[in-house]
């Protein structure tokens, strides 16, 4: 069975999302003692590891996007805009649909050689994809939607501010989640940083061939073209190892891209 790591299991690799300071586990928070910063935990012990200046805007039902944008400052504006898309609608197809199950089969094929400690970025409910992952891995999931009730442990964070030390994961996966990151270059740069040398990046994402206007989409920040994905990987320092596609629903204007790349 997959080893779903808990907070105590990963305390040695956690850090402040904006600095290199380590974090101390306390009963109700993770604490950066040097800077006197506390990052709260929810009832499941899942910590909220957004940049510290964003925490005052985290209400029980989600980020106060209006207050963030009005408060001024680029980082607050960034999170305010991101949170509007987070609330835009369903982020994934329902697990019981036929096209989702076809996707899951291909995703399982992609990550079949995954090993070691794994970071699943944009994990949603990991029970939906648990059957895809090899049984020997050690699993950590991150997802920003802290306000959705859940009965499992996860790290509440975003891909642009990974709260982990350098070289801390053997593999990282984005299962149709990179297009939900507003700054996809920053997300890949952070992934490169926390991967061990020779570590693997597994990516599945929709890629568009036509009719890619973003103003028709309420949840994604990007409608990637395949060449954009490959260029981002190259610029981020990854070497492509394999790549393949599958159709998406009955769409002729887009398909799902699957790839594995290696940190050189």
CATH class of the domain at 98-263: alpha beta
Query: What percent of the chain lies above the pLDDT cut of 90?
Result: 86
* Residue linked to tokens 């859940």: 150
pLDDT at 96: 64
Residues 6+ apart with CB under 8 A from 168: 13, 117, 194, 196
Least confident of 100-104, 157-161, 181-185: 100-104
Tell me what pLDDT residue 137 has: 97
Judge whether residue 100 has pLDDT over 90: no
* Residues whose CB falls within 8 Å of the CB of residue 39, separated by 6 or more in sequence, listed in order: 23, 29, 30, 31, 32, 47, 48, 49, 50, 52, 55
Residue 92 has what pLDDT? 59
Q: pLDDT at residue 41 above 70?
A: yes
Report d(CA 173, CA 139) in Å as an integer: 11
Model pTM score:
0.95
pLDDT tens digits, 50-92: 999 999 999 999 999 999 999 999 999 999 999 998 887 665 5
Summarize pLDDT for 3-27 with one digit per residue, the tens. 999 999 999 999 999 999 999 999 9
- Residue 205 to residues 9, 96, 103, 174, 246, Cα–Cα distance (Å): 30, 19, 11, 8, 11
* Greater pLDDT, 120 or 125: 120
What is the arithmetic mean of pLDDT over 236-249? 96
- At residue 89, the pLDDT reads 63
pLDDT of residue 190: 98
Mean of the per-residue pLDDT values for the chain? Answer: 94
In the chain, residues under CATH classification 3.40.50.150 are 98-263
What was the pLDDT predicted at 98?
77
Residue 178 has pLDDT above 80, yes or no: yes
């Amino acid at each position: 069975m997959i080893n779903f790591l808990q907070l105590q299991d990963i305390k040695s690799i956690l850090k402040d999302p904006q600095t290199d300071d380590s974090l101390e586990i306390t009963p109700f928070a993770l604490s950066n003692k040097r800077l006197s910063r506390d990052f709260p935990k929810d009832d499941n012990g899942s910590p909220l590891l957004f940049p510290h200046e964003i925490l005052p805007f985290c209400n029980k039902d989600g980020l106060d996007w209006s207050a963030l944008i009005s408060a001024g400052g680029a980082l607050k504006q960034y999170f305010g805009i991101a949170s509007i898309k987070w609330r835009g609608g369903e982020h994934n197809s329902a697990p019981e649909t036929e096209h989702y199950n076809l996707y899951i089969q291909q995703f399982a094929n992609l990550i079949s050689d995954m090993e070691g400690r794994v970071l699943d970025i944009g994990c949603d409910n990991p029970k939906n994809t648990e059957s895809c992952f090899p049984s020997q891995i050690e699993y950590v999931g991150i997802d920003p939607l802290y306000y959705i009730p859940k009965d499992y442990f996860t790290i509440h964070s975003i891909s642009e501010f990974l709260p982990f030390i350098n070289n801390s994961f053997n593999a990282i996966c984005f299962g149709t989640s990179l297009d939900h990151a507003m700054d996809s270059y920053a997300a890949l740069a952070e992934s490169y940083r926390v991967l061990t040398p020779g570590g693997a990046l597994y990516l599945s994402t929709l890629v568009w061939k036509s009719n890619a206007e973003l103003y028709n989409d309420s949840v994604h920040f990007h409608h990637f073209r395949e060449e954009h994905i490959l260029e981002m990987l190259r610029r981020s320092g990854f070497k492509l190892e394999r790549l393949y596609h599958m159709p998406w629903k009955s769409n002729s204007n887009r398909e799902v891209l699957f790839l594995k790349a290696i940190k050189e």
